Each structure stands twice: as C-alpha cells, then as structure tokens.
Amino acid sequence: MASEDKEDGKLLKKNKVAINAYMKYSGMGIQMALIITILSYAGLLLDNYLNTNPVFTAILSLSSVLLAMYVFIKGVLGENSKEKSSQNIENKS
C-alpha cells in the first residue's frame, strides 16, 4: 500500500513537471506570435498612413521576428541558468 502511494506521488510529480514545461514553452510561442503580429500590423498602419509601398511593413516584420527570437532565446537561456544554480545549491547541501 505504501509503495503504491510512493509510485503515485512520483507519477504526479512527473506529470507536474511535464505540464509546467508545456505551459512554459506554449507561453513563449504565444508571446512570439503576439510580437510578430503587433509589429507587422503597426507596419501596415504606418504604410497606409504615409501612403508608402510596404516599406514599413517589411522592416517591422523582419524586426519583429528578430525581436521574438531574441526574447525566446533569452527566456530559454535564463531558465537554464536558474536550473543550474538551483542544482548547484541542492548538491552543496
């Protein structure tokens, strides 16, 4: 009976870790999509307001992709450094 409880606890912990990882990366994907959509739409608005060819749309669309990738990479690397520091603290104790 006690071993079943331990196994259930381990499964629950694994499921929580998987759900947290899924939520983290899906949130990053939504954030990237919003950055690209908002800046591309701003480029369209600027082009319509200034009566220009799709100059601002192209510039802001490319810039938004670069910005979204920067934010994504910064988020992933920041999370990895937090995990490493917490592992080092656990190993010391």
- Taking only the tens place, the pLDDT of each residue in 32-68 is 999 999 999 999 999 999 999 999 999 999 999 999 9
- Picking from 33, 55, 35, the residue whose alpha carbon sits closest to that of residue 44 is 55
Conformation bin of residue 44: beta by default, left when phi > 0, alpha when psi is -120 to 50: alpha
**Rounded (5°) CA angle 67-71-16:** 150
Does the pLDDT of residue 87 top 70, yes or no?
no
Does the pLDDT of residue 1 top 60, yes or no?
no
Environment class of residue 57 by beta-carbon count within 10 Å: exposed (0-12), middle (13-18) or buried (19+)?
A: buried
Does the pLDDT of residue 12 top 80, yes or no?
no
Instruction: Place 78 in a pLDDT band, splitting at 50, 70 and 90.
Output: confident
Token pair for residue 21?
């990882």
Token pair for residue 33?
């999509």
Instruction: Place 20 in a pLDDT band, splitting at 50, 70 and 90.
Output: confident
Q: What is residue 32's predicted lDDT score, i.e. its pLDDT?
A: 96
Rg of the chain over all Cα atoms, to the nearest angstrom: 22
pTM of the predicted model as reported, rounded to 2 decimal places: 0.71
Give the mean pLDDT of the chain. 83
